Structure 1
Amino acid sequence: MEMLQRIRDCTVAEAHRAQGKNTTWDLSVEELEAFIAVLYVRGLYGNRQASLDGYWSCLKSDFFRDTMPVDRFTEIMRYLRFDTREIRRPRTNSNKFAVVSEVWNAFVRNCVACYKPGLNITVEEQRFLTSGEVIKFSLTADVDSKYVLNVIPHVVPYSWEDESQKPENVALKLVEPYLGAGRNVTTDKFCTSLPLANKLIANNTNLVGAVSHCGRELPPVMRNQTQTKLYSTTVLKHDKATLTVYRSNPRKNVCILSTMHPTVAIGSDRTREPETVTFYNSNRVDVNRMTRERTVEVVTGLEKGGSHRWPLAVFFNLLDLAAINAYVLFTQCTAKTVSRRDFVMDLAFELREKHMRASAAPPPPLPPIQDTVCETKTRSKVRRSTRNKAPESCG
């Protein structure tokens, strides 16, 4: 509710700025929830090429027409803001993401507080293009449930001189709330490094990550293995870290750094895949698919690449990550089996419920009309003149 209240306040402030101080434009939190419900249901229809009017036509679901007029939806979208102009400029000089940071940080705090992950978590990346900006999200998710545990946004380009923006440090910050419990963290080749592995080991956490072919962790002798036999495996050790180099196809080696596997078992099938590679692939494939599917586009139906205001695209991403997490919490807490699509539809109906009740409620009765002084005097004169008038006689 804190996030919705802030969005509501900033949106109303923008409308008053644009329309003038004498405007009566307003937005309730309940109507904002109904607006979000429309975003979700619009996405479920999946046709991003359709015009807004098409969703409100008689050929589509009554959901849109019953929730709010299309003009009202467009109006809210136009004024939707996550901060105010008065505080924006000094903050964006040092942090471009500040325009949505308060809402985003509140969302991330909820994600961290509401779920305890299993033993295996994965660090992933989302990246998409808006008009003039590239937005990148580094995130970590629970492997089994796909619950999004933590997210760090970046507005590209960002300075590599900033230590906090280096992939190794970003990965460490993402998993920081979950250290010390013997968990296993899977990372891609952009994050994996021996220093990161050592820092995680010091916090009772294992690392299993892909290593770039030109990475510092790969010995020079292993960087050019053109003569290596197909499906062969080479295992190297350094302290508590194990490096597996697997020839997966005639032109490619797969390199996996692991502090979880002191020894590496080799598969008995035709490909003889080592267990480190199998573990890495199984942990990343579903989470990777979830991030690559661009759930925001599927759910909200608003093409992230087509948004002219990148903070709006960030908000759409927040909505979809929230829907994913809400689905995980619902299914695990109730033990019910329901498709994600049906869950999002039910969520949309629930989000608009208060607004629908308020819209359907009869208007409050008008206060009784009070007589003015002039009206009272006039009626008094009429009564006196009526009393004094002699009755007419018929003769």
Structure 2
Amino acid sequence: MLEEISDCTIAEARRDNGDRATWDVSIMELKAFIALLYVRGAYCGKNIEMESFWSEQWGNAFFNATLSRNRFRDIMCYLRFDKKETRQCRLTTDKFTHVRKPDKFGITFCLAADVDSKYMLNGFPYLGKDASRPATQRLRENVVLRLVEPFVGGTRRWPVAVFYNVLDLAAINAWVLYRSCMSQNIPRRDFMLQLAHELRAEWMASKAPPLADVPFTVWDAVCGKRTAKVLNVCINCV
């Protein structure tokens, strides 16, 4: 799933801005991005402006050490879960776009659900013609807008809100399984913070400078404290 999100995000960045023809985001960096989202939730920062976590005075060191604020902005801006250029083709092959007949098959419910987990996010029954629907608005457009209404925010795209819900479910399920399998009564907040550290570990390791070669076979008395040539390691020599 992360590989698909990475590919779609890269495609959107390069499509949206010709100057970013080489823009890229790895799966490691995407995991680090998700780690920041988990830490924000663990600190109850849902109603706090995201960029304040990078503040020099009030910010969180975990955020500054993981990703820069501008890099986080870029990933959030271009975060996508499908490719726009293939949407029209997928509309012709998606069986869920066919018109359903409630008089033949019974009561029809309009549902918004995750494709993989089948988790229902929102839904309502079809009750015939809706008098409140604007005359200029098509039925399918009205249905989609009603389904995504709980996820539409002033500054966010509704697919991202669904993505947040998936992350919440994944973290809660992992916490429940961990407590059951390891027989440890760890608080959910502590588990979320540990999960965030594990998600960003690979990315942080890739950012670390390469270690210098350590002379483990020191034969000469370099430091002046060893009078004999022995096969040893002196901390002062290193």
State the TM-score bracket (shorter-chain normalisation).
0.5 to 0.7
1:152 corresponds, among 96, 120, 132, to 120
Call closer, same or farther: CA 1:57–1:22 in 2, change over 3 Å.
closer
Match of 2:72 in 1: 73
Asked if 2 retains the 8 angstrom alpha-carbon contact of 1:8 and 1:27, the reply is yes
For residue 87 of structure 1, what is the aligned residue in structure 2? 86
Within 5 A, what are the aligned runs for 1:320-359? 320-359=168-207
1:160-194 alpha-carbon deviations (Å, 9 max, x no partner):
68xxxxxxxxxxxxxxxxxxxxxxxxxxxxxxxxx
* Aligned residue among 115, 120, 145 for 1:105: 115
Q: Counterpart in 1 of 2:220?
A: none
Query: Which one-letter code corresponds to 2:185 in the other structure?
Result: T
* Distance change in 2, residues 1:331/1:361 (3 Å): same
After TM superposition, the structure 1 stretch with the greater mean CA deviation from structure 2, 45-54 or 12-21, is 45-54
For 2:46 and 2:61, the matched residues in 1 are separated by 19
Once residues 78 and 18 of structure 2 are traced to their aligned partners in structure 1, the CA distance between those partners, rounded to angstroms, is 13
**Contact 1:34-1:352 within 8 A present in 2 as well:** yes
Shift of 1:356: 0.5
Tell me: CA distance 1:333–1:67, structure 2 relative to 1, closer, same or farther (3 Å): same
- Select which of 7, 10, 13 maps to 1:12: 10
In terms of fraction of residues, the more strand-rich structure is: 1
Contiguous gaps of at least 5 residues in structure 1: 109-149, 162-302, 364-395
- Note the C-alpha offset of 1:22: 6.2
Aligned position for 2:214: none
- Equivalences for 1:301-320 in 2 at 5 Å? 304-306=151-153, 308-320=156-168
State the Cα distance separating 1:48 from its structure 2 match.
3.3
Q: 1:355 and 1:158 mapped to 2: Cα distance?
A: 46
C-alpha separation between the residues in 2 aligned to 1:346 and 1:358?
A: 19
Alignment of 1:1-395 (within 5 A): 3-20=1-18, 23-58=21-56, 59-92=58-91, 95=96, 104-106=114-116, 108=117, 151-154=119-122, 159=126, 304-306=151-153, 308-362=156-210
TM-score by length of 1: 0.40
The alignment partner of 2:193 has SS state of: helix
Q: What are structure 2's unaligned runs of at least 5 residues?
A: 98-111, 129-149, 212-238
The structure showing larger relative contact order (alpha-carbon pairs under 8 Å, at least 6 residues apart) is: 2
Q: What TM-score results when the alignment is normalised by the length of structure 2?
A: 0.64
CA distance change for structure 1 residues 86 and 44 in 2, over 3 Å: closer, same or farther?
same
- What's the % identity of the aligned pairs? 44
**Higher radius of gyration, 1 or 2:** 1
Distance (whole Å) between structure 1 residues aligned to residue 176 and residue 20 of structure 2: 45
Aligned residues: 172
SS of match in other structure, 1:336:
coil
- Distance in 2 of aligned mates of 1:336 and 1:84: 42
Specify whether residues 92 and 40 from structure 1 end up closer, same or farther in structure 2 by C-alpha distance, changes over 3 A only: farther
Three-state SS of the structure 2 residue aligned to 1:83 is coil
- The equivalent of 2:134 in structure 1 is none
Residue by residue over 1:195-250, the C-alpha shift from the partner in whole angstroms, topping out at 9 and shown as x without a partner, is xxxxxxxxxxxxxxxxxxxxxxxxxxxxxxxxxxxxxxxxxxxxxxxxxxxxxxxx
* Contact persistence 1:52–1:70 (CA under 8 A): no
Q: SS state of the match for residue 342, structure 1?
A: helix
Bigger fraction of residues in helix: 2
**Two-structure CA RMSD over aligned residues (Å):** 2.8
Q: What is the CA distance between 1:350 and its match in structure 2?
A: 0.4
Q: What's the CA shift for 1:349?
A: 0.5
- Whole-Å separation in 2 of the counterparts to 1:323 and 1:22: 33
